[in-house]
């Protein structure tokens, strides 16, 4: 082969996409995706994650396989899924939320784990510190101490005659319990009355609404996998009892709620793809600091036809 042809061939090889080169190695990288909800409930999040991976050169079926496991809001399934990921020898586990990540961490100290969203990852023991996670776990934190205050201020703007607020959250979720305590403290400072309505399972939702009729001007709902999985059901009951709702997830407004203010979850899942990319290319989780800044978004449903208005407030 002449030198000119050799250089031309070398140039073509350098230009081959990463996906094609990975195919040549014969083994696809595997992600174990531990979903806290159903596939439909997290579709916008997983779509953003997959698109983020694609942008970085990872394409399902070419150089990547994603093994999805969905708990449908039943956290007791986390352990069996984590064990299954170990049996499959996945290259990295992506786990949404503190509880799923905690179970995955207990199952393995070897397989890297990335959490796209977690509240207080240091306080809950997921990582040693944000700057130096240690171990095999890292990701993005949504911990914010003033979100409850901002949500209640927004709710007061929308409902000027607001006096009585009901609080609903999963009593088994540490994040929800902490958020409810923050909300109660804020309600006290603002001079509102409050009524706590904890739930433990989907069957508790309807009875909670039965006791709210005529007793609350609005309902503050703390989001977690149980709430997100049952978001349409919750909003249906809220509309039936004519109680305006406020959430921390925009997806719950898209499912029929009134108002939300909180992290932009699709953006967080898209950014989690950066962590996965670095880990698949050889970086250790302990060398990837936890990101603690999130882009927040207001979403408001302002007519019965389901029209919503969004306001992205940028990174806080």
Fold match between domain 3-143+265-294 and domain 147-263+298-315: yes
The span from the CA of 197 to the CA of 139, in Å, is: 32
297, 210, 209, 221: which is closest to 252 by C-alpha?
Answer: 221
**Is the pLDDT confidence value at 68 over 70?**
yes
37, 104, 40, 103: which is closest to 71 by C-alpha?
Answer: 37
The span from the CA of 210 to the CA of 82, in Å, is: 38
Specify the pLDDT at position 295: 64
Q: Is 191 helix (H, G, I), strand (E, B) or coil?
A: coil
| Residue 156: Cβ within 10 Å count | 15
Specify the pLDDT at position 53: 98
Domain ranges of the chain: 3-143+265-294, 147-263+298-315
Q: Across the chain, what does the average pLDDT equal? A: 84
Specify the pLDDT at position 306: 46
Domain at 3-143+265-294, CATH class: alpha beta
CATH hierarchy code of domain 147-263+298-315: 3.40.50.2300
Segment 205-219 mean pLDDT: 93
**Is the pLDDT confidence value at 2 over 50?**
no
The span from the CA of 177 to the CA of 169, in Å, is: 7
218, 215, 198: which is closest to 153 by C-alpha?
Answer: 218
**Is the pLDDT confidence value at 174 over 60?**
yes
Per the CB < 8 A criterion, the answer to whether 313 and 297 are in contact is yes
**Is the pLDDT confidence value at 151 over 80?**
yes
Sheet holding 92-95, edge to edge: 64-70, 29-35, 92-95, 113-115, 137-139
Specify the pLDDT at position 144: 61
The pTM of the full predicted model, rounded to 2 decimals, is: 0.77
Per the CB < 8 A criterion, the answer to whether 95 and 137 are in contact is no
For residue 68, the Cα-to-chain-centroid distance in whole angstroms is 15
168, 268, 256, 171: which is closest to 209 by C-alpha?
Answer: 168
**150 Cβ neighbours under 8 A, 6+ residues apart:** 261
Write out pLDDT tens, residues 263-295.
Answer: 888 999 999 999 999 999 999 999 999 998 666
């Amino acid at each position: 082969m002449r030198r000119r042809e050799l250089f031309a061939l070398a140039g073509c090889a350098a230009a081959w996409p990463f996906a094609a080169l990975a195919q040549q190695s014969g083994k696809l990288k595997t992600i174990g995706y531990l979903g806290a909800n159903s596939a439909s409930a997290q579709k916008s999040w997983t779509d953003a994650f997959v698109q983020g991976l694609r942008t970085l050169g990872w394409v399902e079926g070419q150089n990547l396989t994603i093994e999805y496991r969905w708990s449908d809001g039943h956290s007791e399934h986390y352990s069996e899924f984590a064990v299954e990921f170990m049996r499959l020898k996945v290259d990295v586990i992506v786990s949404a939320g503190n509880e799923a990540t905690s179970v995955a961490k207990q199952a393995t100290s070897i397989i890297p784990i990335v959490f796209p969203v977690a509240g207080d990852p240091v306080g809950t023991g997921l990582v040693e510190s944000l700057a130096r996670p240690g171990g095999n776990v890292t990701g993005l934190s949504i911990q914010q101490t003033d979100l409850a205050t901002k949500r209640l201020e927004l709710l007061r703007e929308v409902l000027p005659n607001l006096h009585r607020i009901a609080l609903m959250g999963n009593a088994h979720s540490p994040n929800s319990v902490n958020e409810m305590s923050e909300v109660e403290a804020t309600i006290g400072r603002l001079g509102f009355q409050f009524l706590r309505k904890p739930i433990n399972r989907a069957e508790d939702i309807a009875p909670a609404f039965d006791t709210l009729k005529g007793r609350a001007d609005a309902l503050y709902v703390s989001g977690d996998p149980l709430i997100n999985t049952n978001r349409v059901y919750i909003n249906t009951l809220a509309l039936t009892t004519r109680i305006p709702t406020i959430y921390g997830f925009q997806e719950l407004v898209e499912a029929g709620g009134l108002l939300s203010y909180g992290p932009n979850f699709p953006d967080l899942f898209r950014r989690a793809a950066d962590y996965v990319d670095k880990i698949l290319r050889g970086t250790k989780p302990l060398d990837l600091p936890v990101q603690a800044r999130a882009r927040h978004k207001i979403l408001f449903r302002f007519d019965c036809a389901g029209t919503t208005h969004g306001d992205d407030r940028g990174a806080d």
